[in-house]
Structure formats: C-alpha cells, structure tokens
Chain A
Amino acid sequence: MDVEEVKERAGPREFSPADDMPEEYRKAATRMIQFHANSEIMGAYLERPFVRQSPSLERKLAFSAKVQDEIGHGQLLYRAAESLGVKTRDEMLEELANGEGKFLNCFHYPMDSWHETPMIAFFVDGAAMRRQATLKKTSWEPYAHAMDKVCFEEGFHVKHGEHILAELAQGSKKDQEKLQEAFDEWWPRILQFFGPTDDKSTHHDFAADVGLKQMSNDELRNAFLNAYVPKARKYGLEIPEYPRIEENDDGTWKVREDDLDWDEFFTVAKNDYEGSHEQIGKRHDTQEAVEWVRDVLDDHEQRPMGGAGPAAAD
C-alpha cells in the first residue's frame, strides 16, 4: 500500500498487521505509540512512591492498583507498537532506560508531596483520558484495541484523583494552601500537556492525514479546559493569572502561548531537564536490577520444547 492509498482509506481501526503498510506510516505510528507506552511507564514511576506515602490504607490500595494498571497499559502499548514491525519491545525498553525514549512533559517533574498527587491523578490523567478516548478511533487497529482496555480502566483513576482533590480541598486551611501551591506549580505544565498550538506541531499533519491522530492539540486542549477548569473552581482553586487563558464566546479557549515557557518544554522534550535525568535514572536502575529475570525467561524460552522439559536428559 502506498501513502496515498493509506490517506484515502484512513478511518477508525482500518489497518492491521495483515496490511502491507508503507514505512512512513509504520514509523509515524511507532513514534506515537512508543511515546504513549513510555509515558505510561514513567507516570507509574512518578506515582509509585505514594503507594508507601499514602495517608490511609484505602489510598494505599487504590494507588497500588493504579500504578499496577499504568504498567499494564505500558505493556499493552509496547505490544501495539511492536506489531508495526519497526522496533522490538526490548529495543523500546532499552531506549527508555538509556534516555533516548521520549515521554510526556508532566512526568519529567518530581512530585514530592501528597498535596501534589491530584495534579497527576486528576488533571494529568484527565487530560490523558480525554486524548485516549479519541484514540479509540485511531487507524492502527492494535492501538485502538489497547485503548479499549485502557479507557475501561482509567475512569477509576480520574475519579480517585478527584476524590483526593475533594478531600484536600475540604481539609484544613493548611491543606487548602498546600493544594493551591501545588496547583500554581503544575498548572502551566498541565496546559503544555497537549503540546504547542497546532502550527508548531511537527508531526500532526501526517498523523492526522493517515488517521492515527483524531483531534488536534488545540481541540483537545479546549475540550480539557471546558471540563476541568470548572472542576478546579468547584474545589476553590484559583486559576493563576499567568499563563493567561481566556474563554471565547464559542466555548473555546485562548491560551497565551507567550506566557508559557517553551524553552523549558523543548528541553524537557529532549530529556535534558534536571527532572528528566532523575526520572529516567530511576527507570534505568530498575531495568538493570531485573535484567536477571529477563535472562532467566529468555533461557527458558530457548530450551527445546519451549522449556517444557528438563534442561538436560539423564
């Protein structure tokens, strides 16, 4: 199939590993799904310390379940990416560990206090879920199938995140202050979650033309702001004056791009931010620490009968 035919046929779940896809499509889809898979893993790493730091047993159970879900989503997505035949899962995990793998901007920043957890668990997960819901209609069938399961599970994450937010917002004055501080710090990063406005996004046009991507950055950001700004206000959070955002009459939002730090954003995007090194380092160390498990499994797989019998005959 050539690129023109792909563009012509592009529709929800249109292409599968049974189709002979052009290299340009396979590379673009791999880039997009690998980024998504990496982000699931790195998001889980950011939240993992809060399994231990949860203030109650209920929160600990929920955080533990959530982190487990995110790692599972990463696994699903690496399989979807692998099915394009460009990179193996091993190669993608290696790239993530050595700092070549790219992932969402928000997961490059350290999260130190419990009051920050709703910033990821409600706002960032909510933004991610908005985007993921549109990807159920992506043209790469294995990606869409992964989204079916991811979206099924994510409702718990977002509602649990809001539950923590509600609890802190109704807590002591000190809780409310710390929540606002966390919001002030995370809000610009959350606005940048959907990337630069469309005219600056380099990969959008092709990904949209071949049906990989269903909505533009701006459309997604608008939909997110329409749903989540009222939520922030409901819980008494004050939207910071800068970066300036203005609601248009037609239900869309104007975000003053110049108020956002795009140098920082693109440093983050290149994995060159201070937090990038710290977060990737954690992933690198874990990857190395469990290398023996992968080796044992590989040895097992390579034995005759797929490891069904003993290694050596008596």
Chain B
Amino acid sequence: MIWEVFRQENAGEYHTHCGNVHAPDAEMAKLFAQIQHGRRKPTHSLWVVPQPEVHEVDDEDTAFGGTTDKSYRWAVTYDVDASFAQEVADSEREQEEAARSRGDD
C-alpha cells in the first residue's frame, strides 16, 4: 500500500506534500516516512495518508476561479491608495503575486 507523506518544517507552518512510501499499515508508514522524508530536511511533524484516500480535482476537470472576468474581486482594481495601512498594502501585494502565478493578464 502507498502512503502519501506531508512534511511540516517548523511548528506553525503548513504541512506540504513531499513524497510517498510503501508500508503495510499506518505505524510502519510513519516509520518509513521518518526515514525517507524526515531525516535530512528540517522536520517538525509528518502526516501520512493512505493514497486511495487522496482524491483529486485538477484544472482539466474544472476551471478554478471560473471563466468570467472577476477583476471586481481584486484590490488592485480599485484606484484608491492602499499604502495608508500596511495590512491593506500587504493584502494587495499578495493578490498581485497570486494573479501572476495564475497567469492572469
């Protein structure tokens, strides 16, 4: 049986997928995950999940975020100053980075 492995480097961070291991049960999967994925990279915690329990939907199955112009839901659309409050400016910057990653424009 295959188990997908998610590693969290430090407390408070997100568990991110880092690979998978063969194991007959959860206890062995945790052990093999430690050996394979927890030793060299900094590790605070590992999750192991049976591969058949991981269900996927990808961008061939669906259009994430829809197919219409949704510029009205992004901060950058509104031509008022965001720099007056750090948290508003940060949010706008994160949204702009996400737009670039999505390949908008």
Contact = CB atoms under 8 A, between A and B. Distances in A.
Contacts of A151: 87, 90-91, 94
B37 to A, nearest CB: 17
Interface in A161-191: 162-163, 166
Contacts of A133: 86-87, 90
Interface in B67-98: 70, 72-75, 77-80, 82, 84-92, 94-95, 98
Interface in B1-15: 11-14
A163 B75 CA distance: 10
Contacts of A295: none
Contact of A155 (B11, B13, B45, B82): B82
Contact of B12 (A13, A132, A166, A230): A13
B33 to A, nearest CB: 15
A18 B92 contact: no
A159 B78 contact: yes
Given A16-B11, A65-B72, A159-B78, A231 B84 contact: yes
A69 B91 CA distance: 14
Nearest to A155: B91
A162 B89 CA distance: 13
Contacts of B12: 12-14, 16, 141, 144
B72 A58 contact: yes
A34 to B, nearest CB: 21
Contacts of B74: 156
A228 B84 CA distance: 8
A200 B86 CA distance: 28
Chain A interface secondary structure, helix, strand, loop or mixed? helix
Interface string A118-158: 00000000100110110000000100110000011111101
Nearest to B74: A156
A138 to B, nearest CB: 10
A160 interface: yes
A145 B84 contact: no
Nearest to A66: B73
Contacts of A162: 78, 80
Contact of B84 (A13, A66, A152, A230): A230
Contacts of B90: 133, 151, 155
Given A133-B90, A141-B11, A155 B95 contact: yes
A230 B14 CA distance: 38
Nearest to B91: A155
A13 B11 contact: yes
Interface in A30-65: 58, 61-62, 65
A18 B44 CA distance: 11
Contact of A62 (B11, B72, B91): B72
A129 B13 contact: no
Nearest to B69: A61
Contacts of B13: 13
B91 to A, nearest CB: 3
A86 interface: no
Given A14-B11, A151-B91, A156-B95, A130 B85 contact: yes
B85 A152 contact: no
A194 B44 CA distance: 36
B82 A159 contact: yes
A227 interface: yes
B75 A62 contact: no
A155 B73 contact: no
13 contacts: A14-B11, A62-B72, A62-B73, A66-B73, A130-B85, A132-B87, A144-B12, A145-B14, A151-B87, A155-B75, A156-B73, A158-B91, A162-B78
